[in-house]
Chains A and B, each alone.
Chain A
């Protein structure tokens, strides 16, 4: 089993340094939920289909990430609080290449 280190700043501004498994078919949104870094019901609302933007995060490190798919791009074009470094956590599948990734969770849409 291989874990990678990820730094996640939650919506309250608290930094969490966590281990994320690469062998559990998990995405970043699910990692955030598994560590309960955002309350249930406020993240991953659509379940990970890129159909809500509740798992939006800002990528702070220069880690190389897979390119955005059409669904992710379309959803982010309709989301709020979007920045140039916005990604949807549910579309970021955890791989060993992501070791050292640093992200900040975007504010909850109210």
Chain B
């Protein structure tokens, strides 16, 4: 069981900055995120997009903002449970919480801060009738262990980086790789596109474009797919395959958090703007995941909410401690790793 002071659900910019504010109050944080890396939407959807409304940064790439936040919180040594989704929450008799992920990892903390953004990112599934029947029976939406595909006939659908990259990777492992996309153009890194072209020219990868998969066939296990070519003459072909991997990107879902007994309005969690606490004492919601009158889904608002949340969390954890907010220009930043950052002392020297 992982123990911490503030358990943060969601490792986007708001969740990451909460680690810093908590650290100033000597509170430790642990973050859970369904994505395999920190940064939330900034890393997953638009790392190369510039943001212009982070105070003090006239322009910053979303990916760079995440890198900076990671650097800023490094000395507070946050723990991470990545690639796992927070599934259930249990309130213990002493008022503390245990949050369990979909992989069974348990996290114990007196305070839970939901910084879940738009929700956890789930793979977008194509609209095919019997798709769910073949899930884990030949159909998978992400590749966890590439060895599963050794000497198998694999078909991948999609037109982005992950479809290209996995087609390239599996070309060396699978006995046959087919890539299907609705257009001739792919939206991916140039060298990935060139590599796929090279594999196709060498006959090591079948490329079928513009086309889409319109039906799945098989008894219990996937046996073949029906592919329709998108051209003037609507040509259809059946291809025998062992595995179908649709890679159509990810879309956010509020998910299990929606069942935690929290007051939900407009797909967001209602909070009190005094301290961003939800209707369940000890559970806070900050950033894009919350709602209140006048709410704006901006990173800069998330930072503010994280800061006030931490003050309230401190009071809850240490009800008897006296505390006043201290400026970092005065108190510096003392990391849990023993490092200390502080303003250099001014030199006083007489002028003769």
Contacts of B304 in A (CB 8 A): none
| Alpha-carbon gap, A49 to B41, bound state (A) | 12
Query: Closest approach, in angstroms, between the C-beta of B148 and any C-beta of chain A?
Result: 25
Report how many residues on chain B are interfacial, defined by Cβ distance under 8 Å: 25
Question: Is B268's beta carbon under 8 Å from chain A?
Answer: yes
Q: Which one of A58-66, A72-80, A92-100 is at the B interface? A: A72-80
| Contact partner, A51, options B45, B182, B185, Cβ 8 Å | B45
Question: Is A68's beta carbon under 8 Å from chain B?
Answer: no
Contacts of A74 in B (CB 8 A): 159, 183, 185, 187
Query: Closest approach, in angstroms, between the C-beta of A89 and any C-beta of chain B?
Result: 17
Question: Is A39's beta carbon under 8 Å from chain B?
Answer: yes
In A75-108, which residues have CB < 8 Å from any B CB?
77-78, 80-81
Query: Closest approach, in angstroms, between the C-beta of B335 and any C-beta of chain A?
Result: 34
Q: Which one of B65-73, B133-141, B199-207, B248-256 is at the A interface? A: B248-256
Question: Is B104's beta carbon under 8 Å from chain A?
Answer: no
| Contact partner, B267, options A39, A47, A51, A78, Cβ 8 Å | A39
User: A78 touching B118 by the CB < 8 A rule?
Assistant: no
By beta carbon, the residue of chain A nearest B230 is A77
Question: Is A12's beta carbon under 8 Å from chain B?
Answer: no
In B54-73, which residues have CB < 8 Å from any A CB?
none
In B17-33, which residues have CB < 8 Å from any A CB?
none
Question: Is A26's beta carbon under 8 Å from chain B?
Answer: no
Contact code string B174-205 (vs A, CB < 8 Å = 1, else 0)? 00000001110101000000000000000000
| Alpha-carbon gap, A41 to B291, bound state (A) | 11
Query: Closest approach, in angstroms, between the C-beta of B67 and any C-beta of chain A?
Result: 20
User: A39 touching B249 by the CB < 8 A rule?
Assistant: no
User: A46 touching B45 by the CB < 8 A rule?
Assistant: yes
User: A49 touching B251 by the CB < 8 A rule?
Assistant: no
Contacts of A4 in B (CB 8 A): none
Query: Closest approach, in angstroms, between the C-beta of B301 and any C-beta of chain A?
Result: 14
User: B127 touching A81 by the CB < 8 A rule?
Assistant: yes
Contact code string B140-160 (vs A, CB < 8 Å = 1, else 0)? 000000000000000000111
Question: Is A67's beta carbon under 8 Å from chain B?
Answer: no
Question: Is B103's beta carbon under 8 Å from chain A?
Answer: no
Contacts of A77 in B (CB 8 A): 159, 181-183, 185
By beta carbon, the residue of chain A nearest B264 is A41
Known A-B contacts A39-B267, A40-B267, A41-B266; the reply to A49 vs B46 at CB < 8 A is: yes
By beta carbon, the residue of chain A nearest B160 is A78
Known A-B contacts A51-B46, A74-B187, A78-B248; the reply to A41 vs B118 at CB < 8 A is: yes
Q: Name B residues whose Cβ lies closer than 8 Å to a Cβ of A.
A: 41, 45-46, 49, 118, 124, 126-127, 158-160, 181-183, 185, 187, 248-249, 251-252, 254, 266-268, 297
Ordered by A's residue number, 16 sampled pairs between the chains whose C-beta atoms are within 8 Å are: A40-B266, A40-B268, A41-B118, A41-B267, A47-B297, A49-B46, A51-B45, A51-B46, A74-B159, A74-B185, A74-B187, A77-B181, A78-B249, A80-B126, A109-B124, A109-B251
The 9 closest A-B pairs by CB, nearest first: A41-B267, A40-B266, A74-B187, A77-B183, A77-B182, A80-B127, A51-B45, A78-B248, A40-B267
Instruction: List 7 additional A-B contacts (Cβ < 8 Å) besides A54-B251, A109-B251.
Output: A40-B267, A41-B118, A45-B118, A46-B45, A49-B49, A74-B187, A78-B249
